[in-house]
Structure 1
Amino acid sequence: MAKHPFDSPHTSVSASVTLAVLRAASQLGLERNELIRACGLSEELLNDPDARIPFAAQEQLWQCLSRIEHAEPGLALGEHLAPATFSVLGYLLQSSPTLGDALLAGVRYQRLAGEGGEIQLHEHGDELHLLYQPLHPELPVTRTRVLALMAGWVKMFHPLLDNWHLLRAQFVHAQPPSLDSYTHVFACPLQFGASDYAIVLPKHLAGAALTQGNLPLQNLLRQHAEALLARLPSESLSARVVALLGEQLARGEPDRSELARHLHLSERTLQRRLAEEGCNYQQLLNDTRQQLAEQHLSSGTLPAAEIALLLGYSEPSVFFRAFRQWTGLTPGEYRAQQKAG
């Protein structure tokens, strides 16, 4: 079995997310202090919004929560999750101009919330699939955790979008005896025994404006999110460089010497160690810019000139030339092609 990208000794979850889960559990009548003791946590750690909780401790918490007297404990908990308590990520998603922008931000910054699985966003014809591949899918407790996450997605986006609706919701597990809690939360056709956990939306909703959209605020939050992302432990130097590049791009043209200092390396050592991983700084910078540019153009509505600024280009014309070198198309042609597709 392939190793999951987040499955490492450093795997962790945001203390803010853990706190949100505990608050939801308290609303369902569970004793908060007992839950904290059961998973070996402390109030001091939970009250630090930038602290991280070992994923093993978080799984112990979900183990306790799976015993809630409810047909589906995860759905009951998910309905009581408050998205704003997810710290910078929650506010970043809610301030996004469109649903597509929010979903892209959720995918890019998902590690800030936790590393218990991987969120992916895929287009299939007229459908947009937001799916989740959890760590340890074979464990019974994973069902509770994933259902809470999926219900949390619905709770977050429903009030932010005037015409929010799902085409269907997909679940890996078999169909349960009662579907009442599922139909109440998702209000759409349900598919069980699927290959992935996912909610499926109409593709056109990606361009729908969010009621709390605030682009200047989102840009500030994005810079903060990039800085937090860069601090998380990573399996490889190249992954850390990509995260740091994302932070620098939000502030302007990246600085290789500053990046090397942040990693406590000389520029020569940085180049050598990247070469050992089969890549180099300029390649990572170009790949990061291209990936972010294609994401913005495919699912967002930002003008190309604003995308150029987000990618650290001082002049839009420089971005246009670079994008044509990457894809053979102008940004406008690429966006039109994606919409036509």
Structure 2
Amino acid sequence: MSNAPHEPSQASVSASLTQAVLHAASRLGLDRQALLTACDLCDEQLTDPDARIPFSAQQALWSELDARLLHPEPGLLLGRNLTPGPFSVLSYLLQSSATLGDALNTALRYQRLGGEGGELHIETHDDSLLLLYRPLHPQHPATRIRVLAMLACWVQMTTPLLDGFRLLGAQFRHDAPDDLTPYQDVFACPLQFASDEYAIALPHALCQVPLVQANPPLQQLLRQHAETLLARLPSASLGARVIGLLGEQLAHGEPDRAELARALNLSERTLQRRLAEEGCSYQQLLADTRRQLAEQHLRDGRLPAAEIALLLGYSEPSVFFRAFRLWTGLTPGEYRARHGAG
């Protein structure tokens, strides 16, 4: 299923993230109410941390910040003043992941919770990982400040969570500025400008390093909430919404297709037909969701395989063991020995 960025008229972003940007702006001396007025926003739209606002409204906010902050690179300044807490469920999911690799997989799955202004991709190379961010309409005047703030915040958030964190390089679509000092202060790595991509590279070996704030029980609760939020996004494909609802159902035992169809205001037959139009099926999505949750539980290493089977709605552990071997070619025990957190 495609995760391509949505058109600006449909795209939305997290109210929590917008709150975080406004908090950072206030710390830098800008007037919050003046910014809200200039962007045609109000505090009531941002009160609920799970609420959404139009991407176009946040773009207007970035444009205002670019004009009002007296700094050679306002995006880097804002990124260093963004605090991850107000990002709500997505930020806490990333911080509580077992390893950096788990955090990156989580970011890929739930990136739309942060916003639909672009798309994250990860390329794996021999000794490095390349994290690419492809913004919606890269030529928009506000894109530079927005993407630089995001990259700077990510580096600042990750550094204290990971022993030995460092970057191998950073790429930017815009031309090199006269003063590279703000970039060197944030990224501390070789810089490439006028690139085809916004990207940062890091050592592949860092993916296996445990994060300081790893918290598997909290992860499980947050994932259930994140799946619910993902399913509610109106622009999500039907398949994505089914995956989200399956995640909720599997937290309570055997999933029920009829109940899921009712939650989507569809008949079971219509559900199957529309999923087929998207090139998938209910059984395929159920198997994919079970596999992802099973692998996550086994990597976390806290639950016995038989208990994982019950959590995923299997009536007998032996059925789960056979399914897992079909998915991965490994038994649950072999998978945990290879990929577990320790």
Same fold (TM over 0.5): yes
By how many angstroms is 1:74 displaced? 0.5
Is residue 28 of structure 2 the alignment partner of residue 28 of structure 1?
yes
Aligned-residue offset at 1:247? 3.3
Tell me how far 1:183 sits from its aligned partner.
Answer: 0.6
Query: Identity percentage over the alignment?
Result: 63
Give the secondary structure class of the aligned counterpart of 1:79. Answer: helix
Distance across 2 between alignment mates of 1:198 and 1:332: 36
Residue number in structure 1 paired with 2:265: 264
Aligned counterpart, 1:49: 49
Indicate conservation of the 8 Å contact 1:293/1:311, yes or no.
no
Q: Which moved more, 1:264-273 or 1:157-166?
A: 264-273
TM-score, normalization by structure 1: 0.88
Tell me what 2:151 maps to: 150
Q: CA deviation at 1:27?
A: 1.4
Alpha-carbon contact 2:310-2:317 (below 8 Å) kept: no
Change in CA separation of 1:193 and 1:86 when aligned onto 2, cut-off 3 Å:
same
What is the rounded CA distance, in whole Å, between the counterparts of 2:294 and 2:17 in structure 1?
A: 29
Alignment check: 8 A CA contact 1:252 1:309 kept: no
Deviation at 1:93, TM superposition (A): 1.3
Partner of 2:81, secondary structure, is coil
- 2:4 corresponds in structure 1 to 4
Contact 1:249–1:312 (8 Å) recurs in 2: yes
Secondary structure of 1:137's counterpart equals coil
How far apart in 1 are the matches of 2:271 and 2:99?
Answer: 38
**How much has 1:80 moved relative to structure 2?**
0.4
Equivalent residues of 1:249, 1:310 under 8 A apart: no
CA-based RMSD of the aligned residues comes to 2.8
Q: State the partner residue of 2:193.
A: 192
Tell me the CA shift for residue 328 of structure 1. 4.4
Question: Counterparts of 1:3-152 in structure 2 under 5 Å?
Answer: 4-7=4-7, 9-67=9-67, 68-152=69-153
TM-score w.r.t. the length of structure 2 is: 0.88
- 1:246: Cα distance to partner? 3.2
Contact 2:100 2:211 in 1 (8 A): yes
- Residues of 2 paired with 1:81 and 1:280: CA distance? 41
Report what 2:163 is aligned to: 162
Q: Distance in 2 between matches of 1:94 and 1:319?
A: 30
The Cα offsets for residues 205-228 of structure 1, whole Å up to 9 and x where unpaired, read as 111111111111111111111111
Equivalent position amino acid for 2:14 in 1: S
| 1:23 partner amino acid | H
* Alpha-carbon distance in structure 2 between the residues aligned to 1:195 and 1:319: 45
The residue number in structure 1 matching 2:247 is 246
Task: Measure, in 2, the Cα distance between the counterparts of 1:46 and 1:185.
Answer: 29
Among residues 291, 300, 303, which one is paired with 1:302 in the alignment? Answer: 300
Contact preservation (8 Å) 1:170, 1:199: yes
Distance in 2 of aligned mates of 1:155 and 1:224: 26
**Cα contact 1:12–1:54 (8 A) shared by 2:** yes
Contact 2:171 2:195 in 1 (8 A): yes
Asked if the contact 1:234–1:240 (Cα under 8 Å) also holds between the matched residues in 2, the reply is no
CA distance in 1, matches of 2:46, 2:213: 28
Task: Give the equivalent residue in structure 1 for 2:181.
Answer: 180
What are the Cα deviations for residues 223-277 of structure 1, in whole angstroms up to 9, with x where unaligned?
Answer: 1111111111135322321232233344443321221121012222212322333
CA contact (8 A) 1:305 1:316 kept: no
Quickly say closer, same or farther: Cα 1:313–1:188, change in 2 above 3 A.
Answer: farther
Bigger Cα displacement from structure 2, 243-252 vs 278-287:
243-252
Contact 2:294 2:312 in 1 (8 A): no
Secondary structure (helix, strand or coil) at the match of 1:178 reads coil
Partners of 2:11 and 2:117 within 8 A in 1: yes
- Measured in 2, the distance between the counterparts of 1:3 and 1:163 equals 32
